[in-house]
Structure 1
């Protein structure tokens, strides 16, 4: 598994920090992770956390968790709880108490007044639509608001009225006075404060005006002593505004912003807006749906914290925008579970087999390993009985090319058990096979068969009917049929109709009792599965498929 030491060697941001330390620019390195509490964290956030945390850890510095709570209309306390839960599960420890941007509202307000007094901010009466129209485009320069040249005294009075709630929501806003002709659109008099008559989850009803992200973020960084403010590339232009604000207020510490590429993965989305669309349209069950790339969704699917961090460390940090192959993520969990997941047999699509020449009152106990390559994981007992289940996909009435499973008149070996031969098929009135009558060869237990003699077609998994327990198997596939779903408006047009397949099958009867400390299993020939303890109950056992096995040539 990759560690942050390897991460450090390939990381351009670490090289910047090395240079800063060499030049004695900072005594203590301080980083932060500043999520907005308007949704659940996703895999892109893990990349950011890994970067900020590993920097602080490597240099024995400080790592803060700061909740960026400047927009009460979209925030919820449940999201704050989920953020804390995700970081704890991932194993990241932040220094001291959780920080909130709202902790600094009084100071941020004072800095806004300071900008007004310096004639660098004004109260504007243009509405949101007009502000956008006045701002222009990349090809068309912006034009000044008709309210831009108000006196300092008038702006101070109007801003005070905003604070006291004398204006309706959307009527006025506080904007920085920079340059409406700037080639960088974000510098065309950005909004610093807006009115929101909504109770805040931390400050209650104290405020009815709230700073924008651009205004509060850099100030919070400076107050906390952040040395390197790290964000994704879409904030690259915002760096100019970040520096402008800090350069024009009386704050001593000036953090430096650096940008890196956002994490994008094939067939997946991380946009909170798009995830909300999926939830609203009942495409997914919620923020923790295993088809989503949210941390809670990946956790419920069965991904481990170590595999997700390993993935982020492996892909590294660059400035190049690209889409990571989903196989890169899958290989990390597969690599881990191949070593730690006990093996078991489960039948997802059961087809009954009756062994005609085996006594109905008899059973044969078979001792098998929990892991073929790790004897320390011990052994368990399974039972061979007259009636067993195999997977319906492991039987064919007629012989097919390269089909190495059971056919009528053919032989296969049951995993860890006997060779059987299919003799007769029983069908219902609809023509569907209900069971197969077979015979077994009692002298074939533990006997190796020379593959060249082709006595058997192959080896299939099975489970005793008497020693099995019903279970639901949720097979999750890519949520979308298009590799790159980013920046597409109508994401619902590219949904994979087979993103979730549910099967009613069987597991070994004592599987969960024997492995009560383990929720991960490799069901032989089916893949790696996770016992969904949260959504299971005594009447319903659910296993989520994490990932299939590596493809083999049948």
Structure 2
């Protein structure tokens, strides 16, 4: 059971239960299988599943698959996997397409009662007659067709007698309504497209605004939780529920969607990033998709805790993406073993260390979790340090390694640099140092102090590795259709270096804290035995403060 946070939807449900309006609560998560889920969907998943759980109810996973032009079984499978990974088990798995016959019958019932009619006008012509926010719409010439003619035409639509776009079925509501959604909205359109679930059984498909309330009513959903963009459609939702011949009467409630800084929160735009190869698929670790976050190394616990803490409200707001990263650090700091990795290596030869000798030194696995114990790390005559940890001519207050300076090697000894070698391009290739055997870490040595401590990987046992460092995929808030102008061309940096020998047998999604570099996770697609690939999940520190 998760910790529970109060919000306005919970108050509504509480009042409904106390008043006897509902005997039990049923919610639903209704994704359209036209893309992968993103972090915004996670907010809805957490809300629906945990609200129902708190009140002893159930949650349905329902695929709103009413548009075969954009839907695919790949997306269905990916959505199932994402929800399972987050730790939720839907009480029921449903498809809107399973209700196509029932929806058709409900449409026929509307026609028989004079509440729907078959339209001949094109989409553009219908739009011209719809009116504006200040001017009422105009009635279609087809609006006053007889019930018998409408029934016959609708049956012909189903049987495939018309081409795509040639006819539609519209509700007969009010062309002068101040809410444009009630100006005879389209209920059905023709699309001679095979469906991932029903194949070629249908060539007419219900519009989402008609299907959605029917699906909720058929399934006995009590509280249909939607984001704010559906608020203007609630009168149409209520009209369909009122006119439908179904016992259940669900209640639609709207809440503010999740908006994150530097993050695209649109499946259409995310698909464009994939289709135009700005990223390497929907699960690219830079993507805000749940599969992308999973591949990068996010944990389900961190995502769920983030979704709980941001709350549920009616007011649109923009959440700092660093808040999501905060909860990730809070989760990983207790779980991730600490180890050392050198991402941009330069070799150090310790000239007075015995050749052919290797000693193994103890080091804590995770100072935040003493139960994880210690590990053994090798030290010998040749080690690797980070290239940025040496400068030939350093500025003031540079406390790392430079000629005639001394630093501590973490978990090991003090070393003193006395020489170095460059290649023909002036790039440092080797450093030559001496070590002081009296300064072994943990020996109690305190005769002198050094200001710099460098991490390292011992050369003889080093495991070659690839490191992928990520920056924000979007440089700024991408507004409008030109969001591609904000794509950060330097959002991925690849480095090749070394990790400690205890990393030789890592497996997919294993997570580590690399000293000074951040938290990393083993890439599940590109790693191989003896050649691990690590994705940096998040850096170690942030200026973000949780209020």
Which residue number in structure 1 is paired with residue 331 of structure 2? 336
What are the equivalent positions in structure 2 for 1:515-554 lying under 5 Å apart? Answer: 519-538=510-529, 540-550=531-541
Choose from 374, 377, 384 the match for 1:382: 377
**Is the contact made by 1:410 and 1:456 (CA closer than 8 Å) also made in structure 2?**
no
What are the equivalent positions in structure 2 for 1:416-427 lying under 5 Å apart? Answer: 416-427=411-422
What are the equivalent positions in structure 2 for 1:34-183 lying under 5 Å apart? Answer: 34-96=30-92, 98-183=93-178
**Is the contact made by 2:365 and 2:375 (CA closer than 8 Å) also made in structure 1?**
yes
Which residue number in structure 2 is paired with residue 478 of structure 1? 472
CA distance in 2, matches of 1:175, 1:440: 84
Give the 3-state SS of the residue equivalent to 1:549 in structure 2: coil
CA distance in 2, matches of 1:448, 1:270: 54
Residue 551 of structure 1: how far off its partner (Å): 5.2
1:508 has 2:492 as partner: no
1:14 has 2:10 as partner: yes
CA distance in 1, matches of 2:312, 2:346: 49
1:460 has 2:458 as partner: no
Give the 3-state SS of the residue equivalent to 2:144 in structure 1: coil
Please, what is the CA RMSD of the aligned residues?
A: 1.7
Give the 3-state SS of the residue equivalent to 1:322 in structure 2: coil
Residue 201 of structure 1: how far off its partner (Å): 1.7
TM-score by length of 1: 0.95
- Over 3 Å counting, the alpha-carbon distance change for 1:345 and 1:25 in structure 2 is same
CA distance in 2, matches of 1:381, 1:490: 52
1:492 has 2:492 as partner: no
CA distance in 2, matches of 1:51, 1:152: 43
**Is the contact made by 2:508 and 2:522 (CA closer than 8 Å) also made in structure 1?**
no
- Cα distance per residue 1:74-107 (max 9 Å; x no partner): 11111111111111111101114x1111111111
CA distance in 1, matches of 2:214, 2:46: 23
The alignment covers a number of residue pairs equal to: 542
1:213 has 2:208 as partner: yes
Residue 518 of structure 1: how far off its partner (Å): 7.0
Which residue number in structure 1 is paired with residue 288 of structure 2? 293
Give the 3-state SS of the residue equivalent to 1:335 in structure 2: helix
Which residue number in structure 2 is paired with residue 469 of structure 1? 463
Which residue number in structure 2 is paired with residue 403 of structure 1? 398
**Is the contact made by 2:342 and 2:385 (CA closer than 8 Å) also made in structure 1?**
yes
CA distance in 2, matches of 1:238, 1:381: 63
Which residue number in structure 1 is paired with residue 246 of structure 2? 251
Residue 374 of structure 1: how far off its partner (Å): 2.6
**Is the contact made by 2:347 and 2:429 (CA closer than 8 Å) also made in structure 1?**
yes
- Cα distance per residue 1:509-548 (max 9 Å; x no partner): 23243x6697010000000000113321236421000000
Give the 3-state SS of the residue equivalent to 2:210 in structure 1: helix
- Cα distance per residue 1:363-404 (max 9 Å; x no partner): 121111211243321222111111111011111112323323
Choose from 236, 249, 261 the match for 1:266: 261
- Cα distance per residue 1:166-201 (max 9 Å; x no partner): 000011111111122222121121110011111112
After the TM superposition, which of the residue ranges 367-376 and 460-469 deviates more from structure 2? 367-376
CA distance in 2, matches of 1:86, 1:31: 18
CA distance in 2, matches of 1:245, 1:449: 80
Which residue number in structure 1 is paired with residue 301 of structure 2? 306
CA distance in 1, matches of 2:399, 2:124: 66
CA distance in 2, matches of 1:331, 1:380: 27
Residue 448 of structure 1: how far off its partner (Å): 5.7
- Cα distance per residue 1:29-78 (max 9 Å; x no partner): 11111111111111111111111111211111111111111111111111
Which structure 2 residue ranges, 5 or more long, are not aligned?
none
- Cα distance per residue 1:219-239 (max 9 Å; x no partner): 110011111000000000111
CA distance in 2, matches of 1:419, 1:472: 29
- Cα distance per residue 1:307-339 (max 9 Å; x no partner): 110110111111110111011100011001111
Residue 440 of structure 1: how far off its partner (Å): 1.0
CA distance in 1, matches of 2:500, 2:417: 23
Which structure 1 residue ranges, 5 or more long, are not aligned?
none
Choose from 345, 359, 378 the match for 1:350: 345
CA distance in 2, matches of 1:201, 1:4: 35
Which residue number in structure 2 is paired with residue 434 of structure 1? 429
- Cα distance per residue 1:88-129 (max 9 Å; x no partner): 111101114x11111111111011011111221111122222
